[in-house]
Each structure stands twice: as structure tokens, then as C-alpha cells.
Amino acid sequence: MKLLRNWLLAGRVAFAAPSEEDELQVLVRDNNVEQALRVLKKKMQREGVFREMKQRRSYEKPSERKTREKSEAIRRARKLARKQAIREGLLPAPPKKKPFERKPPLPEVKARVPMA
């Protein structure tokens, strides 16, 4: 996250040496680049890189930033309290989702051969 902040200072790209904690490393196995890209995207999503890039597309006033951060903190606190209440049995657990069921395959149709 700090690396991205360094790169996107005031809309300009600034080159900064990444620190050890900021590095995302993905191994490419058997020249499978597609799978490595999927893993990289998932890691970046977890780190919040995409969300931060979207936020930094336009300038955010300090007052708006404080308001947003406060609402995010409230949302996190509510989520934590809700999970705690569910664990303690004060709230009912949400219904579990049914696993996806595949439809059975269609019967195989044999092609008719025209008689000549």
C-alpha cells in the first residue's frame, strides 16, 4: 500500500524503491502466466490496491477523506460487533448458502445418416 502511495503522488508517477513489506511476489510455474496473473490480481485485490487506485483518480479533499475514513471505521466496528454477537449466540446466524448444483448433462443425440 505504501508503494502505491509513493507512486501516485499528486497524479504523477514517482519512482520509489519498494520496501520488503510492500513487495507482492508471484511465482510462474510451468510457464503458466494466466494462472500467475490470476494469483497476482487476487493478492492485489486483498491488499486494496485496486480500490486505492480508483480513489486516487481524482483529488479527494481532506474533509471528504476524514468523513470517508470515519464511515469505513464505523462500518468495520459494526461488522466486528455483529460477528461477535453471532458467536456469542445473541443474534441468529445468517442462513447458509446452498452449494451450486450442476444440471445433469443432456442425453447424447446420435446424428442420422441419410440413406442414398
pLDDT digits (tens, 9 = 90+) for 58-73: 999 999 999 999 999 9
**Domain assignment present for 104:** no
**Domain assignment present for 108:** no
The single residue listed with the C-alpha cell 483518480 is: 57
Q: 41, 59, 77 — which closes off a domain? A: 59
Q: Residue 100 gets which letter from DSSP?
A: P
User: Structure pTM?
Assistant: 0.52
Cell triple for 84: 461477535
Q: Do 20 and 69 sit in the same domain of this protein?
A: no
Q: Model confidence over 39-65: pLDDT tens digits?
A: 999 999 999 999 999 999 999 999 999
DSSP string of 35-94, one letter each residue: HHHHHHHHHHHHHTHHHHHHHTTS---HHHHHHHHHHHHHHHHHHHHHHHHHHHTSSPPP
Q: Which residues form the domain of 81?
A: 61-91
**Domain assignment present for 96:** no
Cell triple for 36: 500467475
